[in-house]
Amino acid sequence: MDDHFTRRVLLSLDVENYSSRRDVDQERVQHALANVMRVTAERAGLDRSRWLVQGSGDGELSVLPVETPEKRVVDHLPSALAESLAAHNVDAPHELKLRLRVAVHQGLVRATPYGHAGTGVVMVSRILDSDPGRLALRACPTTDLVLLLSPPLYLDLVVQGHTRLSPRDFREVPVVAKKFNSTAWLHVPGVDVRALALDLVQRPTAEAVSVSTPEAPPAPTGHSTTVHGGVHGRNVVIGVQNRFGR
């Protein structure tokens, strides 16, 4: 990669229930995932060997070549990945079955000693880690793939009619993580995502902020007088309250 930030298509994915598997099965899952992604790239007409892949054990962050058309990724990758997952899972034992959450974005990124940096990486990572993808995968037990598109990709490609997918195939969902507050567009192949009952985290609003009212201090013992005054105006009533403590 060049020594400056460049705009790339970014893909981040995660395997469901990876940490609950035995050590030996985690290793086998990683090999299975690598094979599924290799086959998927071939199906989609993409050169996997040129991807910059940063593994995370239970998934990966991939930076695709600079000349990669985002249309090809959005148009062909979901169906290719769904086919590859179905082919793998049909004969795989339960402990090696793969169900994925996948986030796709296009943004600025640069190679670093520890992987990649840039706002593009932050965006695609937050979208992947948000609740809607997990909830959708849980709500669709017969589905192996959940896709989340960033708002720019959805608006530029889907809304403008540049892909085989249409806006009816997507549902806007909140992405709320740490100080990050945005949205993403959810797609589940073969599922009406608008009909899914998802208990989603909503964006905080001013009306939703709870403000606690401090309790009044206890009345002191003895005699005290509170005078409400110092107000100038017409028809003003000045009240005097005498309070006697016991």
The pLDDT value recorded for residue 55 is: 86
Per-residue pLDDT reduced to its tens digit, 93-139:
999 999 999 999 999 999 888 889 999 999 999 999 999 999 999 99
Are 147 and 94 in contact by the 8 Å Cβ rule? The answer is no
Predicted pLDDT at 200: 62
14 vs 215, higher pLDDT: 14
pLDDT value at residue 3: 62
* pLDDT (mean) for 33-41: 96
* pLDDT single digits (tens) 44-73: 999 999 999 998 888 999 999 999 999 999
To the nearest 10 degrees (0 to 180), the angle between helices 70-89 and 23-44 is 130
* Strands 6-15 and 59-63, sheet pairing: antiparallel
For residue 162, pLDDT beyond 70: yes
Summarize pLDDT for 138-147 with one digit per residue, the tens: 999 999 999 9
Structural tokens at position 32: 């299975």
User: CB under 8 Å to 144, separation ≥6 — which residues?
Assistant: 82, 85, 86, 89, 98, 99, 100
Q: Write down the pLDDT at residue 203.
A: 47
Q: Is the pLDDT of residue 237 over 70?
A: no
pTM (two decimals) = 0.78
SS3 213: coil
The overall average pLDDT reported for the chain is 84
Residue in 32, 44, 39, 14 with CA at minimum distance from that of residue 136: 14
Higher pLDDT, 160 or 202: 160
- The beta-strand segments (E) located in the chain are 6-15, 52-55, 59-63, 100-112, 115-117, 145-149, 171-177, 180-187, 223-227, 240-244
225 pLDDT more than 50 = no
Burial grade of 246 (CB within 10 A; 0-12, 13-18, 19 or more) = exposed
Domain ranges of the chain: 6-196
Which structure tokens are listed for 110?
């640069």
Q: What is the pLDDT of residue 230?
A: 52
pLDDT in tens, 17-27: 999 999 999 99
The CATH number of 6-196, from 3.40.50.450, 3.30.70.1230, 3.20.20.140, 3.90.1310.10, is: 3.30.70.1230
